[in-house]
């Protein structure tokens, strides 16, 4: 399936403007975060989140959020799966 970069109001950034290290950081964080929740645990924030986020995403809140995502999209597989499912592409 080919999906236009301009579908759903999104515009693709030129490769020269994308910091691949930030993409990798986001992938690693999402995998660690959602895998912990999928396994019935919670994610322990360290220096990757500001204090307000760490305090607001308590273990109980993380479980609630994950259950909501799971109800909508199924169990976590990987970040692109959630993004594609949310856009009706998977």
Q: What is the pLDDT of residues 31-79, one digit of tens each?
A: 899 899 999 999 999 887 888 988 999 999 999 999 998 888 788 776 6
Record the pTM. Answer: 0.65
What stretches of 1-90 show up as alpha helix (H) in DSSP?
Answer: 20-38, 51-56, 59-73, 79-86
Torsions phi, psi for 68 (to 5 deg): -65, -45
Would residue 40 count as lying in a domain? yes
Would residue 53 count as lying in a domain? yes
Number of structural domains found in the chain: 1
Would residue 32 count as lying in a domain? yes
Would residue 41 count as lying in a domain? yes
Would residue 13 count as lying in a domain? no
Residue 43: per-residue pLDDT = 94
Would residue 38 count as lying in a domain? yes
Domain of 67, in residue numbers: 20-86
Contacts with 21 (C-beta within 8 Å, 6 or more apart), sequence order: none
Would residue 50 count as lying in a domain? yes
Supply the DSSP symbol for 12: P
Report whether pLDDT(3) > 50. Answer: no
């Amino acid at each position: 399936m080919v999906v236009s970069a301009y579908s759903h109001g999104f515009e693709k950034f030129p490769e020269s403007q994308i910091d691949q290290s930030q993409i990798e950081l986001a992938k690693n964080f999402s995998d660690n975060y959602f895998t912990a929740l999928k396994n019935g645990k919670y994610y322990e924030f360290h220096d990757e989140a500001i204090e307000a986020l760490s305090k607001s995403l308590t273990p109980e809140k993380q479980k609630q959020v994950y259950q909501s995502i799971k109800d909508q999209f199924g169990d976590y597989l990987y970040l692109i799966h959630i993004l594609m499912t949310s856009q009706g592409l998977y």
